[in-house]
Amino acid sequence: MSLDQLAKSRLNEHVSALLRPPRAYTLQEDLGLSATPDPLRIFDRALLARRRRRVAATAVEHDFLLARVADELAERLEIIKRRFPLAANVGAHHGLLSRRIRGLAGVERIIDVDGTARLLSDAGDMRVVADEEALPFADASLDLVVSALALQLVNDLPGALVQIRRALKPDGLLLASLLGGATLQELRAAWIAAESEISGGASPRVAPFADVRDLGALLQRAGFALPVVDSETVTVTYANPLDLMREVKAMGASNILAARRRQPVTRRLLMRAAEIYAERFAGKGGRVPATFEILTLTAWAPDPSQPKPLRPGSAQARLADALGVSERKLKQ
């Protein structure tokens, strides 16, 4: 066995030591409540896996949004002056985010985790094929979890966050980006209008994504401390709506909703949706915009050393003194 093979073998042994049998933790179970045997299924994860396998060879040609998010997460991580001996990239795709952060000071080893083995063929040496809905890591085994544009497609986001929090060591960091509710709002509106006009009703064709106002509460419910969520809107333009639809398909991200219609889209419906999209949203040059809302989450696994809010009434100084004004009691 060569030195390189021996090194890889030891890496795999190290990864295996961190893993436990895959088990999906739900928020209800973690809080000691009865778990629902058949949780609400929004996304057809099996279909998502098939589509990602199909586009794995060309995924890198359509990763402009993933690259942008990876750069942003790397910049945020760089300003956190901490050591992260072991990190996991959840929903790693082809390992782009891991390559961005691998050279940063403090990040020592990264495990790439994805449910599609073909995507991981271009990832780093430490790889685990696992679904984001059933992470296989032992409790308190990771110092850092990062994720880029993967968590928006899990059926039980609160449960996935619970799993991540459990896998993190005390004071471990979660840094993740996912698509928000405004994503592809133009395409959603065009499909609804076209289908209502042609068939008198509409079926869901664009995924519902999380709202920025809800994610902070979800992080707290999942047991995280010091949660911060912020939103950025990215607008990409295309020559026409059909080019946008082709790109979404090439990303493996076309309609995977469990409640989707099973009949193929007719040419009439497709062309009418494209017409409505162009009529409503095209700019002066004829190009059409597509909105992507990027939500970025920063949160920490609880630890006694973390700062805590002061108890009401425990302040040692008055705001009036700091502002240099007199204090007056309000009338009862």
Mean pLDDT of the chain: 83
pTM for the structure as a whole: 0.80
180-184, 303-307, 314-318: which range is least confident on average? 314-318
pLDDT in tens, 235-276: 999 999 999 999 988 887 777 777 777 778 889 999 999 999
pLDDT in tens, 155-179: 889 999 999 999 999 999 999 999 9
Could you tell me the pLDDT band of residue 67, with boundaries at 50, 70 and 90? very high
Closest CA to 44 of 277, 294, 255, 304: 255
Contact 274, 190 (CB under 8 A): yes
Cα separations in angstroms, 188 against 64, 193, 195, 254, 311: 21, 9, 11, 12, 46
Cα separations in angstroms, 131 against 112, 116, 297: 12, 8, 20
pLDDT in tens, 287-296: 999 999 999 9
Q: Which domains does the chain have, with CATH numbers?
A: 3-14+39-182+209-235+293-306 (3.40.50.150)
Task: Write down the pLDDT at residue 28.
Answer: 40
Burial of 203 (0-12, 13-18, 19+ CB in 10 A): middle
* Tokens linked to 268: 């009439």
Of residues 292 and 119, more confidently modeled: 292
Cα separations in angstroms, 22 against 90, 135, 136, 163, 267: 14, 6, 4, 11, 43
Task: Write down the pLDDT at residue 328.
Answer: 65
